[in-house]
Structure formats: C-alpha cells, structure tokens
Amino acid sequence: AVGTAGQRCTSTRRIIAHRSVAATLADRLVQAYAQVSIGDPLADGTLMGPLVVPDAVEEMMQAIEQARADGGELLCGGRRRPDLGPQFVEPAIIRMPAQTEIVKRETFAPVLYLLEYEEFSEALRLHNEVPQGLSSAIFTESVRAAEEFLSPRGSDCGIANVNIGTSGAEIGGAFGGEKETGGGRESGSDAWKAYMRRQTNTVNWSNALPLAQGITFGS
C-alpha cells in the first residue's frame, strides 16, 4: 500500500482482518506508517515518493473524503505534504464499516482500507466482490484456510499468495489477472507462447488408415 506510493497495479488496497485481531492489527499498522520516510525517491532511506501527477493527489483526497462520508474512520495520514514538494502526500489508513463502492475502486494512491470479518466465507466474499482480479494474498497459520484460498472456491485473482504480500512477482511465475484486470498471462511458464504458434499433429505409423466416425470401406 506504501511501496511506489500505492501506484502499482498489485499494490495492497484492502486488508480484511478477523474481528478478534482487527484492532491490534490497526494499531500496529498505524505505528508502522509513522515510520515511513517520505521524500526524494532517489535518496537513501526514502520509502515513499510523490504521486505521479496532480490529478492523482486530487483523486486520493476525493477517495478519502468519500470513505469518511461512508462512515470510514481515518486512522492516520491522508494529508498533502507541499513542504516536501509537489504531489507529496502522507499514506492513509481508513477503517471502514463495510465494503462501499469507494473501497472497490482502484485509486492508485497510498490508501489502505481496513475491513473486518467473522467467518472465513465472509472474508472470501468480500475479497472477490470487486471488479479487479490481479493479485491477492492471505496471511494465516491454517493450512486449511490457505488451501481454500488457493482453490477454485477461494481467490479469483490471477496471482494468489500465502504469507507474502501482493506486490513482487516471482520471475518464474506467470503474471496476469482476471475480471477487469484480465487479459492473459505473460512471463513465467507462458513466456514462450508469444514467440511460437501451436500446431496439432496426429501421426499414424500403422498399416491401417483409421477414418473418423467409424467409417469403413469394403475390401
């Protein structure tokens, strides 16, 4: 959510946490965000640079305003930082009472929405109830939950990770998504497909000539 100032297509936009740990997780995230160094992306120690254009800043501010209008609580950040230069902002964490339309929208800015769930099926429903389907991740100690997340009943994204973030694809893995972020795969095991064409071959070395549909001719 902070890397590349939230402007990557694989940036984490939502965290769906179990109700029993949601408050503790929120506190720890706020503490972590307080340590994020904002500034020149070429300088050592900088963790977050500026947004790409002025319109991106405006879209972020509008998203925060809409989230708050929907009942969201701004836990930290979300301010412009003109003292650092044009298009600099503070990354924001917003606790949401429900998954509203603004939560489902890709803002391409450092805005992280926190949602809660009680049953795992509810978490999967919230996870898949968005138009995007590129990258996803689950953090769990439960093998059962991890396997369900990776199964056809789980994540509907092209990339599904376990105990590792949504950004940063393995070079050996195919990259691509589903739904609005669909369009096939590239790299990984699919890399060769862009340079080749598929040809179907059937080779018969027998003395007979089998015909389709069981057709035969007299001797």
Of 70, 55, 144, the C-alpha closest to 104 is: 70
- Alpha-carbon distance values, 61 to 56, 110, 113 (Å): 9, 11, 14
What stretch(es) of the chain map to CATH 3.40.309.10?
1-118, 122-192
pLDDT in tens, the chain (219 residues): 898 999 999 999 999 999 999 999 999 999 999 999 999 999 999 999 999 999 999 999 999 999 999 999 999 999 999 999 999 999 999 999 999 999 999 999 999 999 999 999 999 999 999 999 999 999 999 999 999 999 999 999 999 999 999 998 777 788 899 999 987 888 887 777 778 888 888 888 888 887 888 787 766
For residue 62, how many other CB atoms are within 10 A of its CB? 13
- 141, exposed or middle or buried, with CB in 10 Å at 0-12, 13-18, 19+? exposed
pLDDT of residue 196: 83
Are the beta carbons of 177 and 134 closer than 8 angstroms?
yes
Q: Which two tokens stand for residue 187?
A: 């790299």
- Alpha-carbon distance values, 151 to 130, 132, 156 (Å): 18, 18, 9
Report the predicted TM-score, pTM, of the whole model to 2 decimal places: 0.87
- Tell me which of 3.30.460.80, 3.40.309.10, 3.30.70.380, 3.40.50.740 is the CATH number of domain 1-118: 3.40.309.10
pLDDT of residue 67: 99
Residue type, 82: P
pLDDT of residue 215: 81
Fold that domain 122-192 belongs to in CATH: Aldehyde Dehydrogenase; Chain A, domain 2 (3.40.309)
